Every structure is written in C-alpha cells, then in structure tokens.
Amino acid sequence: MKAIQIKQPGGPEAMEFTDLPVPQPKPNEAVVKIAAAGVNFIDVYNREGRYKVPLPFVLGQEGAGVVSAVGTEAREIAVGDRVAYTNVLGSYAEYAAVPAERLVKIPAEVSESAAAATMLQGMTAHYLAHDTYPLKKSETALIHAAAGGVGLLLVQMAHNIGARVIATVSTEEKAKLAREAGADEIILYTHSDFEAETKRLTGGKGVDVVYDSVGKTTFEKGLNVIRPRGMMALFGGSSGAVPPFDPMLLTQKGSLYVTRPSLGHYVITREELQGRAAAVFGMIRSGKLKLRIEHVYPLADAAQAHRDLESRKTTGKLLLNTELSVAETNQW
Ligand code: NDP
C-alpha cells in the first residue's frame, strides 16, 4: 500500500511517499481502508519532532473509511462497517490498523470525507465549548484564528449556544468566513490591536473565555481581556509555544483560570468518545454545523498540504486521499 512515512524528523521534505505492507490486525484491532485522512497541525509537530514519536512512523492521526479486516478480539466492529477515528497514528496511508475501541461508526447520512473532517477538529471544538469552559447564552467568547479548522467549528458551536463571539483573523477573506460561521464581531489582529479592540467591544468588562490556539503571539495579551475569574483555554500554539510564566500573573489579571487541554483527555472512555462523536455528527446531520473542506489533496501531495497549512493560507479543513467528491459533504 502507499503511505507517507517519516524516517527522520524535518520539514515537509521529510515526508516520504512510499510502499509498505498492508497492516494485519492485532487481536484487539481492526484494519480500515482509508477513504479520507484529516490534515492537522499535530501532524506538523510529529513530522518536525516537536512531539517525539518512535521512528519510522506513518503520519496522520485522523481518518475515515471502511473496515477491511478485524482481529479475533475486536468487539462491536465488523468488516464492511463505515468508521472514523482520531488520536491513533498512521492515517496518511491506504490502510491503517486501529484499536477497535477507538473506532466510531459513521451515521448513514454523513459521508466519509465529512467524518474525517469531524473527528479531531469537530470533537475539539465540542469539548472546548461544552466542557472546558461550558459557554452559556449571553456570555462572550474571544476565539482566535476563527477561520481555521477548529476555529470555524468553534465559532458555529458558540453561536449556536447563543453566546456572543468576538473572532480574530488575519485577512478580509477569513473575516468573511468567520462572519458566515456566526461571529458577531471580527478583529483583524494583524492590522489592529486585539486587546484594545476587545476591551472596546466589551465596554471594558472583558470576555468570559478566550479560546486560544495561536499561543506565542496572543497568549499574554489575551490574559488582559478576560473578566475576573474568567478562563484562558490555551489549546494550541500555531505561532509558537507560550513561554513559562509566574502563576502570580493570574492573580494580578483577576484570579484567572488557565488550562492547556488536549482532546485525548476529553475522549478517555469509549462511552465518552462515542457520545462526543455522536453529538458532533448530530449537529452535521441537523444542518447546525457546516464543514468547510477547503482542499482535498492526493496522498502523494501530503507535503504540499503541510506547506499550505503552515503558511497560514488555509481556511477550514484539509483532507488527503479521499475517493469521495467534496460536493457530497455538508459544507458552505
Ligand atoms: P488552523 O486551520 O487553525 O491553522 C492555524 C491558524 O493559526 C492559521 O490559519 C492562522 O490563522 C493562525 N496563525 C496565527 N499565527 C500563525 C503563525 N505564525 N503560523 C501559522 N498560523 C498562524 O489549524 P487547526 O485548526 O488544525 O489547529 C489550530 C491549533 O489548534 C493548532 O495549534 C493545533 O495544534 C491546535 N489543536 C489542539 C487540539 C487540542 O485538543 N489541544 C486539537 C486540535 C487542534 P490567521 O491567519 O487567521 O491568523
């Protein structure tokens, strides 16, 4: 089978398009014939070696397709099932072996490309808005990189809850998308100071929560726009890692809460995984959540997908290797 393998960490050129044997399932695993694999920032970190992964490895942590083989102890999953998963390495390939307990069945009305676009970023947006800081109607959230993969989904979920959404983006094109997703206010944070603008938009009161995936360039100023006892949910570092800081800073800024959550800790049990996936699939089926699949690359062009993601050019979701038409998905 074809796969994208990393033998040595590095830039996009470290991604080798290669031939590997089709994996055989261990007793607790199922093998999935991948129809679509999601491209995510974590794949960049794994490729670069920022997160340590034993070498060599096949990239990718999100996929959807059809089960082609099951191990002797794999429960609840059968050959022919349409399934999706995340947080298991190896989806940049034609086939991947996945622990059966990490697979969720895709509802009939949801395409495989939509499912691949949902598992990591959709469930992330869901846990952020519903569990990390459970947003309420009439509260205000500041969402950075609002036209990104997680961003567009999080804006829609916050809007559907009834919260006021202040969104930051870098370009007018991204501003339009964030507005269509339900953002009430847009700040072009590459042109104006988001701290001053957020204070102005909230009449000096500050927001209840900041959802920050940008990190290095936004974190510190973000602490200045949160109301007393509000929360900073720092869930990524697209601009770089946040440097260490003194916890006394949180006292000075208003007894703030800071968390650095990760999806894995919000889908710990099979029950939680299935419940969260079902909630997001339900939003897609009811039309409350629209996916924006910006580009589908052939597997062989995975390196280009990484270059595009890192260059800050992309909006919404990037997929690899899908056999399905993007027109089939519920997007705008
Ligand atoms: P995005 O589609 O959001 O892409 C990143 C965006 O970040 C860019 O489009 C850009 O938006 C913004 N950005 C700001 N500064 C930079 C910079 N210097 N270089 C590149 N981009 C920059 O990616 P994802 O939705 O895939 O992921 C967003 C972040 O969330 C990542 O950091 C990822 O690791 C994290 N994440 C965390 C999870 C968790 O559970 N903790 C789960 C999923 C993702 P703009 O041009 O508008 O500024």
What pLDDT tens digit does each residue of the chain (332 aa) get?
A: 999 999 999 999 999 999 999 999 999 999 999 999 999 999 999 999 988 999 999 999 999 999 999 999 998 899 999 999 999 999 999 999 999 999 999 999 999 999 999 999 999 999 999 999 999 999 999 999 999 999 999 999 999 999 999 999 999 999 999 999 999 999 999 999 999 999 999 999 999 999 999 999 999 999 999 999 999 999 999 999 999 999 999 999 999 999 999 999 999 999 999 999 999 999 999 999 999 999 999 999 999 999 999 999 899 899 997 554 444 444 44
Is the CB of 312 within 6 Å of ligand 1?
yes
Contact (Cβ atoms closer than 8 angstroms) between residue 65 and residue 321: no
pTM: 0.95
Contact (Cβ atoms closer than 8 angstroms) between residue 41 and residue 310: no
Residue 124 domain-assigned (yes or no): no
- Strands of the sheet with 15-19, listed across from one edge: 15-19, 2-6, 57-58
Give the per-residue pLDDT at 324.
40
Residue 51 domain-assigned (yes or no): yes
Residue 310 Cα to ligand 1 middle (Å): 9
Torsion of CA 134, 137, 141, 146, to 10 degrees: 100
Same domain, 205 and 166: yes
From 199, 232, 260, the end of a domain falls on 260
Residue 128 domain-assigned (yes or no): no
Same domain, 149 and 61: no
Residue with tokens 């679509």: 36
Region at 247 (left for phi over 0; alpha for psi -120 to 50; beta for the rest)? alpha
- Ligand 1 pocket test: pick from 130, 238, 266 the residue with the most ligand atoms within 8 Å of its Cβ: 238
The contacts of residue 260 (CB under 8 Å, 6+ apart) are 234, 235
Phi, psi of 146 (to 5 degrees): -70, -15
The residue segments making up the domain with residue 179 are: 137-260
Same domain, 206 and 286: no
CA–CA gap between residue 196 and residue 229 (Å, rounded): 20
Is the CB of 87 within 6 Å of ligand 1?
no
Is the CB of 316 within 6 Å of ligand 1?
no
Is the CB of 40 within 6 Å of ligand 1?
yes
For the CA of 239, the nearest atom of ligand 1: 18
Same domain, 79 and 34: yes
Same domain, 144 and 255: yes
Is the CB of 71 within 6 Å of ligand 1?
no
Our count of domains for the chain comes to 2
Residue 127 domain-assigned (yes or no): no
For the CA of 316, the nearest atom of ligand 1: 2
Same domain, 238 and 310: no
DSSP string, 287-309: TSS-B-EEEEE-GGGHHHHHHHH
